Structure 1
Amino acid sequence: MSIIRQESLFDIYDLLEMEPTQRYEAIISEIDVDAILYQVNKKSRLGAPVKLNYAAMIISLCVRIIERIPTIKDLIKRLKDDPLFKWNCGFLVSDETPSEAAYSRLITKLSDSNTLELAQETVLFQAIAEGFIIDDTVAIDATHFEARDQAPAKEEKTKTEPKKRGRKSKAEREQWLEEQAKKEASLPLYEKKIEAQLPVPLTELRNEVPQDPKWGIKKNSEGKNVFWYGYKGHLAVGTSSQYILQSLFSSGSLNDGKAAIPLLKGIHERLSLSSLRYQTMDAGYDYDPVYVQVNRMGQQSVIAYNKRNESDPIGFDKHFAPTCFREHSYRYDSFDTKYETLKYTRPCKDCPLATEGLCQKIYKVKITTNLRRYTAPARGSKAWKSIFKRRTAVERVNAYLKEYYQLDNIRYRTGKRAKVHFDIVTLIYNASKLASDRINSMLHQNIAA
């Protein structure tokens, strides 16, 4: 599997090898700690005075991820035993070391607001303004991580009455369809079909995401089912810059395809990236509504096709390119953006059937006739394969988050608090990326000078 690497003089690996004081300063300086502090600080002068240094506590939560300190208990011990570490986290000599209960209250305050998501957007806006995010392709994928607690015992399913055999009458079928429609309408948003997400506003889409730990299932590289109890992190990553452009935290049971539209809408509505042209995903996202959303954004879908027991259409090959009378596939030539039309040319230069009018020279098809089958560039073409290979960027970022940023070290029992851990991890990663890009840019300027 090819891995996309960004050629640079200085990267995240080098940043993580810097001295602690320099590393903390480089990463934390990219985060708007004051905005986070405003959300968790006491708003009224009434009541007992706040003796804790909340700003230093927020920084220490970030440093815990950078230093890979496994638990809050270990963090507190380090603060007590290492005065230099405590000072690097922003605590004063006179400040008391916070207790586990104090950190727990801070996590609760963070979980009740979206301040970490706003801090993430601030980092992204800064990276865009400085020209570090100029991607033309976004890769979307999910990664799983286990919950702290063991899975509860599975409930025994109650036996249902056997279904009546035989064909339903017209009246019975109409009644059954009406009952099914009512049942579908009463379901939570993420238990409905994916097309139900298309008209829903982004804010509602993000607020309705299930976050409690659940059983998840996924096939591994050997084709075997892997089960876990916990959560999923859904990421939309710029394939060249490797910034996390959008992220979503959910229960482990959520289908990957149901997270695509919230991520896509987040990119479209929250980020002004005119350079984007392609959205690439694996076969787990091969659903018609996903293609519709990408098309509404004025971009192209490069998504692996999932046949789902579908038969190959007559007159077309497995990539839906038209075939000639002798069953040779037409060659993809170009895409007309004005008319949204794919152009295919005759497969053979000197076709003996051309003079008899049995071999069409040019074949054109509008992608809007079937957005899932017809993509630009066309499926199976060298251009399509080249763009699809960029999807490995999101896999690399997933590996970064687990290996260096403790994504799979969830220490909280509820999904709401586990999301705080996920948001801090993605925030620290993007801040680290921005810090390394800035240092790299300075090195280039010094060399040029």
Structure 2
Amino acid sequence: MYILQQTLFSFEELMELELKERLHLFFSNLSLEPYTVKLRSRLPQGAKGFRRDAILRALLAAPLVGISTFTGLVDRLKSDIRFRYQCGFGVGSVPSIATFSRVFQKITTLNLAEELFLALVKECREKGVISGEVIAIDSTAINAYEQKQARHKSKNTGNGDWGAKKDSFGNTVTWFGYKLHLAVDTESELPIAFEVTPANVNDGDLGPVLIEKVSSSVPENEKPKFYVMDAGYDQLKNYEAAHKNSAQAIIPLNLRNEKEPPAGMTSNGTPVCSMGYEMVYWGADKNILKFRCPHILGKVDCPFGSAWCSASNYGLVKKVNIKEDLRRYSSPHRNTRKWEELYDQRTAVERVNSRLKVHLTANRLHVWGIKKVKTHLLLNMIVLLVGALACKQSLQKAA
């Protein structure tokens, strides 16, 4: 029964609930008073008479029901009485498109969406929704709403630009717009830190930024143990950023960046014995990796036996300090079962990107300029966090 309850309230199935149930669950886990207070002061002429919490609720409900424009939101409020009441508007008129646009601008100017996002991440941690032990980092393409420009015109504007990435088939895909860089808790599959950049920014350059954001937001004893990234992040600075924050970066080696390994080592950091056989990984003690004779352990049949290298029955032992080469050496050792299991968790960030773009409206921009794009994306990420809190509440009630 418990397993059934776990699957019953996944985010995907939450989206399949009747709209009245979905919005009720969503709004019951969302306290907006601290943010609407800031919206009440000096709102532009024309917004008077509409509850600020209702306007903000409507802006958050929009991605939840697949609405990506202010025009679509106003039309829905006018045509759907139940939706209008659940957002907090009573009988009568609803805010105009211009009013929603002005409030959206003020949310952007005051950075209220990011403030709400960070508060929800903290709440998810406190309620045990986010564990934060393993963090997956990756970026996703966001197509711009503004008109495409030639590269020489879009370069260094800080807004939309041209980007290129390899798809799962190895084909190069280009787009004009932005990148959403996410750090995701792999257990809960929730975003906990982010950056929005023009599309031409290299993924690897944002790794240290996201690691620092995640690490600085939690107490020392709650810091992540692993940061999982794909081969595009195989740069020394990402390993150094993780190590600086008492964590291990789990990143495949990018063979295009590979040079000759040190003498007596394979590319993945495994020592070789004097006969050229790879030694066997035998565990780690903090920063020290231990490797043993492959002949003694029955992995190879060395013509000289083990006595040639060591007089001990235990066989030759080599130890490697991870600090000697943070990129090549890893704990757990690169390509071991434990390392592979950790790397497999990287797919969590891909699923988050899919939910943001398929179930919600992250890739259907109706605003331009990186600051407004950031607010649009934040509203979508907030929906994921509130949705997770709603799922937890439902599970507790069903238990």
Task: Tell me the TM-score normalized by structure 2.
Answer: 0.90
Q: Which moved more, 1:358-367 or 1:434-443?
A: 358-367
Helix, strand or coil at the partner of 1:372: coil
- 1:441 is the counterpart of 2:396: yes
Helix, strand or coil at the partner of 2:388: helix
Tell me the residue number matched to 2:116: 119
Aligned with residue 215 of structure 1, among 151, 162, 169? 162
1:22–1:441 CA distance, 2 compared to 1 (3 A): same
Deviation of the 1:324 alpha carbon: 1.2
Q: Give me the whole-angstrom Cα distance separating, in 2, the residues matched to 1:435 and 1:83.
A: 23
Q: Which moved more, 1:343-352 or 1:361-370?
A: 343-352
Aligned with residue 306 of structure 1, among 236, 254, 259? 254
Tell me the residue number matched to 2:273: 324
Tell me the residue number matched to 1:59: 57
Task: Tell me the TM-score normalized by structure 1.
Answer: 0.80
5+ long unaligned stretches in structure 1: 1-5, 157-190, 192-209
Aligned with residue 227 of structure 1, among 157, 174, 177? 174
Q: Which moved more, 1:312-321 or 1:268-277?
A: 268-277
1:416–1:48 CA distance, 2 compared to 1 (3 A): closer
Helix, strand or coil at the partner of 1:276: coil
Tell me the residue number matched to 1:174: none
Aligned with residue 374 of structure 1, among 297, 322, 329? 329
Tell me the residue number matched to 2:200: 253
Q: Which amino acid counterpart does residue 335 of structure 2 have in structure 1?
A: G
- Asked if the contact 1:8/1:440 (under 8 Å) is kept, the reply is no
Deviation of the 1:212 alpha carbon: 0.7
Q: Give me the whole-angstrom Cα distance separating, in 2, the residues matched to 1:234 and 1:87.
A: 35
Q: Which moved more, 1:15-24 or 1:268-277?
A: 268-277
What are the Cα deviations for residues 62-95 of structure 1, in whole angstroms up to 9, with x where unaligned? 111011023211111121122222111110214x
- 1:354 is the counterpart of 2:306: yes
Q: Which amino acid counterpart does residue 109 of structure 2 have in structure 1?
A: D
Q: Which amino acid counterpart does residue 240 of structure 2 have in structure 1?
A: V
Helix, strand or coil at the partner of 2:187: coil
Helix, strand or coil at the partner of 1:440: helix
Deviation of the 1:380 alpha carbon: 1.8
1:139-158, aligned counterparts within 5 Å? 139-155=136-152
Helix, strand or coil at the partner of 1:60: helix
Aligned with residue 236 of structure 2, among 288, 291, 301? 288
Q: Give me the whole-angstrom Cα distance separating, in 1, the residues matched to 2:45 and 2:228.
A: 53
- Asked if the contact 1:405/1:429 (under 8 Å) is kept, the reply is no
5+ long unaligned stretches in structure 2: none
Tell me the residue number matched to 2:129: 132
What are the Cα deviations for residues 364-398 of structure 1, in whole angstroms up to 9, with x where unaligned? 01101111111111112111111111111111111
Helix, strand or coil at the partner of 2:222: coil
Deviation of the 1:43 alpha carbon: 5.4
1:1-16, aligned counterparts within 5 Å? 8-16=7-15
- Asked if the contact 1:148/1:412 (under 8 Å) is kept, the reply is yes
- Asked if the contact 1:65/1:406 (under 8 Å) is kept, the reply is yes
Q: Give me the whole-angstrom Cα distance separating, in 2, the residues matched to 1:344 and 1:247.
A: 38
Q: Give me the whole-angstrom Cα distance separating, in 2, the residues matched to 1:418 and 1:48.
A: 24
What are the Cα deviations for residues 269-290 of structure 1, in whole angstroms up to 9, with x where unaligned? 1134626311110111111121
Q: Which amino acid counterpart does residue 116 of structure 1 have in structure 2?
A: A
What are the Cα deviations for residues 275-315 of structure 1, in whole angstroms up to 9, with x where unaligned? 63111101111111211111111111111112315223332
1:128–1:64 CA distance, 2 compared to 1 (3 A): same
Deviation of the 1:430 alpha carbon: 1.1
Q: Which amino acid counterpart does residue 300 of structure 1 have in structure 2?
A: Q
1:81-100, aligned counterparts within 5 Å? 81-94=79-92, 96-100=93-97
Deviation of the 1:155 alpha carbon: 4.0
- 1:341 is the counterpart of 2:288: yes
Aligned with residue 380 of structure 2, among 418, 421, 425? 425
Q: Give me the whole-angstrom Cα distance separating, in 1, the residues matched to 2:81 and 2:195.
A: 37
Q: Which amino acid counterpart does residue 304 of structure 1 have in structure 2?
A: P
- 1:405 is the counterpart of 2:356: no
1:101–1:287 CA distance, 2 compared to 1 (3 A): same
Q: Give me the whole-angstrom Cα distance separating, in 1, the residues matched to 2:202 and 2:39.
A: 33
Q: Give me the whole-angstrom Cα distance separating, in 2, the residues matched to 1:155 and 1:276.
A: 40
Q: Which amino acid counterpart does residue 322 of structure 1 have in structure 2?
A: P
Helix, strand or coil at the partner of 1:63: helix
Q: Which amino acid counterpart does residue 30 of structure 2 have in structure 1?
A: I
Q: Which amino acid counterpart does residue 27 of structure 1 have in structure 2?
A: F
Q: Which amino acid counterpart does residue 355 of structure 2 have in structure 1?
A: Y
- Asked if the contact 1:134/1:275 (under 8 Å) is kept, the reply is no
Aligned with residue 79 of structure 1, among 77, 80, 89? 77
Q: Which amino acid counterpart does residue 321 of structure 2 have in structure 1?
A: K
Q: Give me the whole-angstrom Cα distance separating, in 2, the residues matched to 1:409 and 1:64.
A: 12
Q: Give me the whole-angstrom Cα distance separating, in 2, the residues matched to 1:400 and 1:137.
A: 20
- Asked if the contact 1:144/1:233 (under 8 Å) is kept, the reply is yes
Q: Which moved more, 1:12-21 or 1:291-300?
A: 12-21
Q: Which amino acid counterpart does residue 369 of structure 1 have in structure 2?
A: E
Aligned with residue 222 of structure 2, among 274, 277, 284? 274
1:327–1:267 CA distance, 2 compared to 1 (3 A): same
1:91–1:221 CA distance, 2 compared to 1 (3 A): same
Aligned CA RMSD, in angstroms, stands at: 2.3
Q: Give me the whole-angstrom Cα distance separating, in 1, the residues matched to 2:294 and 2:318.
A: 11
Q: What is the aligned-residue identity percentage?
A: 27
Q: Give me the whole-angstrom Cα distance separating, in 2, the residues matched to 1:149 and 1:275.
A: 39
Q: Which amino acid counterpart does residue 64 of structure 2 have in structure 1?
A: I
